[in-house]
Structure 1
């Protein structure tokens, strides 16, 4: 049984174990986002995202600013 809530990723729907109360152990902490990337993502999504989607959105943002 999971200690934390299982929620769907807002972007892809994949189940993720939310560890908001233990952020350093959460899968999303594997993605190092700068302030601009966080702002870009938060403009499009309000809830938790899986690490895969965070990496993809980080790349999307970097592609936009380098174009």
Structure 2
């Protein structure tokens, strides 16, 4: 039985089980973002995202700062 809300990833549309009230059990908690990466993502997106998209955006940000 699902105890948490099923939502869509804002970036790719994949269904994910949001566990905001149990953050350490949420799939997004496996992605360790630094403050600059969080800021970069929050400037472009407002909602929850799947771990795959968070990793892709982290890579995008890191590639962007290397090329600056």
Q: Tell me what 1:4 maps to.
A: 4
Question: Once the 2 structures are TM-superposed, how far is the Cα of residue 20 of structure 1 from its aligned partner?
Answer: 0.3
Runs of 4+ residues over 6 Å off in structure 1: none
SS state at 2:16 partner: strand
Please give the alpha-carbon distance, in whole angstroms, between the structure 1 residues aligned to 2:3 and 2:60: 33
Matched positions, count? 67
Question: Once the 2 structures are TM-superposed, how far is the Cα of residue 7 of structure 1 from its aligned partner?
Answer: 0.1
| Deviation sequence 1:4-38 (CA, Å, 0-9, x none) | 00000000000000000000000000000000000
Q: CA RMSD, aligned part only?
A: 0.4
TM-score by length of 1: 0.99
Question: Once the 2 structures are TM-superposed, how far is the Cα of residue 54 of structure 1 from its aligned partner?
Answer: 0.1
Structure 1, unaligned stretches of length 5 or more?
none
Structure 2, unaligned stretches of length 5 or more?
none
Task: Check if 1:14 corresponds to 2:11.
Answer: no
Task: Check if 1:57 corresponds to 2:57.
Answer: yes
